[in-house]
Structure 1
Amino acid sequence: MNRYLIILFSLLSLNADAQKRIVSLNGAVTEIVCALGFEKTLVGVDVTSTYPASMQQVPKVGHNRNISAEPVLALHPDLILATDNFIQPTVIDQFKNVGVKTVLLKQEFSIEGTKKLITEIAAALQVPAKGLALCKQLDKEQKELHIATLDKKVLFIYARGAGTMMVAGKETPLDKIIGLAGAKNAAAGFNDFKPLTPEALVTANPDVILMFDDGLKSMGGVDGLLKVQGIPQTNAGKQKKVIVMDGQFLTGFGPRVIQAVKELSEKLKAAA
C-alpha cells in the first residue's frame, strides 16, 4: 500500500511541475498565477502585468490588445494563459499550431467573475485546492466588506495627456467597480469608451472625477486637468474632487478586487 502511495505522490508532483515556463497575457491572470504559487514559472507577461512588483523584472511581450505571436513564442513557453477579449484568433492559432498549450479564459468584471477566473486558472495549473483556498479568502474579505450607497456621480476619465482623453461608459470595468463601491457612473448613456467632449462633461456633470494615477500625472496634475474645456464647469471641477488610483489595482478584477472596492469606497466617502 505504501508503495502505491509513493507512486501516486510522485505522479502528482510531476503534474504540478508540468508547466515550468508560463506566459501570461493579462494583468489579473498574472496576479492569480502568482497568488497560486507559480510566480517563478512566469517567463513572460504583457505590460498590464504590473503586480506583484517582481513582474517588473519579467520580460514584456507587448500590450494584451496588440499581442503578436513571435515575442511570446521566442520565450519557449510550455503554457500560455490569456483572456479571450483581446487576443486575435490568428495569434491564438499560431500558438496552437506550434503545439504550445494555450488556455483562453473569459473574464467577467465582478467579484464572482474573479472567483471563476481563479478556479479556471487553478485547474489549468493543476492546483484546484489552491484555487479553492484563494476563493475562500475572497469570500472572507467580501463578508467583511460593508459598502454604503453614495448619492455621487463618478466620471472616469482615461488620459494620456490632453490629446488623448476618453470616458468610461456602461459595461466597462470602471462602470462595474464604481457600482461595487456604492456610487453611480456619470456616463450612463453609452457602452464602452468614447472620446471626452465638453458637451459630454456638461451632460454628465460628475460630482467626482476618477482617474488612473499615471493619467492625472500626464495631465500635469489637478491644475492641468482643470484646464480641459468643460471640466471647471462640473461639480467635480468646481470643488476639485478628483480621485486617483493605480490602474491595474482599480480595474484588474484580480485577487485584490475586494481591496480595490474598499479603497475606492473610502476615497469617495472622503470626497463627499
Structure 2
Amino acid sequence: MLPPLLRKLGCLALSFLVIHADSAAQSLRIVSANGTLSEILAGIGLEKQLVGVDVTSTYPASLEKIPRIGHNRSIAAEGILSLNPDVVIYTDKSMLSPAVVKQLGSSGKKVVEFRHDYTREGTIRLIREAGAYFNAKPQAEKLVKTLESDLSKIKKPAAPKKLLFIYARGTGTLMVSGTGTSVDKMFELTGHKNAVQGFTEFKPLTAESLIAANPDVLVLFDSGLESLEGIDGLLKVPGVASTSAGRNRKIVTMDGQYLTGFGPRLGKAALELAQKVK
C-alpha cells in the first residue's frame, strides 16, 4: 500500500489530468459536418466550441447562428479551413467526400470519423463515443438515459399499420423509402412496418407501386408536404387518393432531421411518430 502522502499526490495528479483534459476539450475549435453530431455536441455542453456546421445542423435552433460549411458533396475543404478548426468531425453517413477528407488531413487538421448506425444501439454508441472523445462521458450518459426512457414509453401496436415515407421536393421529385433507410428503421422502432419491402434505399414513386403497396399512413417531412402545397396537393399525386391513407387523409409530417437524425432525440421522435400514427 502506498504511503498517505504518495496516495494524496497521486490523486492530485489525476485530478489535474482530468481538469486539463476537460479544459482542452472546452477550448477546441470544432467543425461538424453532420447534424446529429452537432446536436450531440450541443447536448454535452460543447456548442460554444462549434465554429462551423453543415446545413443539417438545425437543432438546437441556436446552431443557425453558426457559419455553414455547405451540404454533403458540395462541402469544400477551403470553406472549412477558413474557419481554422482544431478538429473536423463527421460520420460515415455524412457524405463528406474522400477528396475533402484527404485535403483536410493534408493541411494538418485533425479529422475524426464516427460510425453511425440507424439503430437504437448505434445511436447510443455514437453518443457515448462522441462523449468519450471530447471528455464528456457523464454528459453523454445523461443523453443516453433520457433516450432510453423515451423509447421505453412506446407501446407496440397489436395490429401494426403499413407506413410509407414519401420524399418530396415538389411534384417533380417524389421518392419512396424502401428498406434499410433511417425512416424504415424508425418505423421498426414504433412497431409498425414499411408498406414496401421489395427494394432498399429510395426509388421513384409510381402510381402503380403506390396502389399496390396501399399504405395505411403516408409519412413526409414538413418541408416535403409544403412543397406539394399541403394535403390537397398530395392527394392530387397519381395513385395517392386510391390508397387507404389517401382515402382517410391519414398523413403524418415531421421535421426531417428530427425524424431521421437518429441522435439524442431518437426516443422523442419515435414516440411522437407512434402517437401520430394511431
Does the CA contact (< 8 Å) of 1:48 and 1:64 recur in 2? no
2:51 aligns with: 43
Supply the distance in 2 between the matched residues of 1:135 and 1:176 (Cα, whole angstroms). 18
Q: Given that residues 213 and 245 in structure 1 are in contact (C-alpha distance below 8 angstroms), is that contact kept between their aligned partners in structure 2?
A: yes
For the 8 Å contact 1:165–1:195, the answer to whether it is kept is yes
For the pair 1:81 / 2:89, whether they are aligned, the reply is: yes
**1:206-253 alpha-carbon deviations (Å, 9 max, x no partner):** 111000001101110001111111111111111111000111111110
Report deviation, 1:192. Answer: 0.3
Q: Distance between the aligned counterparts of 1:62 and 1:200, measured in 2?
A: 35
Higher mean displacement: 51-60 or 95-104: 95-104
Q: Say which is worse superposed, 243-252 or 79-88, in terms of deviation.
A: 79-88
Please point out which of 53, 59, 72 is paired with 2:67.
59
In the alignment, the residues of structure 1 paired with residue 152 and residue 217 of structure 2 have an alpha-carbon distance, to the nearest angstrom, of 27
User: C-alpha deviations, 1:1-28, integer Å up to 9, x for none?
Assistant: 5666555434333322324211111111
**1:223 maps onto 2:229 in alignment:** no
Normalised to the residue count of structure 2, the TM-score between the two structures is 0.91
Higher mean C-alpha deviation, range 136-145 or range 216-225: 136-145
Q: Which has the larger radius of gyration?
A: 2
1:1-272 counterparts in 2 under 5 A?
5-19=11-25, 20-85=28-93, 86-269=95-278
What are structure 2's unaligned runs of at least 5 residues?
none
Q: Is the 8 A contact 2:154 2:190 kept in 1?
A: no
Percent of matched pairs sharing the same residue = 47
Confirm or deny: 8 A CA contact 2:149 2:267 kept in the other structure.
no
Alignment length (residue pairs)? 269
Q: CA deviation at 1:129?
A: 3.0
1:41-91 C-alpha deviation (Å, 9 max, x unpaired): 111111011000101111111113432211111111111110113121111
CA contact (8 A) 2:151 2:271 kept: no
String of CA shifts for 1:76-126, please: whole Å, max 9, x gaps. Answer: 111111011312111111111111111101110111111100111112212
Q: Which amino acid aligns with 1:127?
A: A
In structure 2, the CA distance between the partners of 1:144 and 1:227, relative to structure 1 (3 Å rule), is: closer
> What is the identity, as a one-letter code, of the residue corresponding to 1:12?
V
Question: Are the counterparts in 1 of residues 147 and 268 from structure 2 also a CA contact under 8 Å?
Answer: no
CA distance in 1, matches of 2:67, 2:44: 20
Is contact 1:155–1:185 with CA below 8 Å preserved after alignment? yes
Q: Contact 1:170/1:192 (CA < 8 Å) preserved in 2?
A: yes
Distance 2:142 2:271 in 1: 21
Identify unmatched segments of 5+ residues in structure 1: none
Q: CA separation in 2, counterparts of 1:140 and 1:195? A: 37
Q: CA RMSD in A?
A: 1.6
Q: Secondary structure at the match of 1:171?
A: coil
Contact 2:151–2:267, Cα closer than 8 Å, also in 1: yes
CA positional deviation for 1:140: 3.1
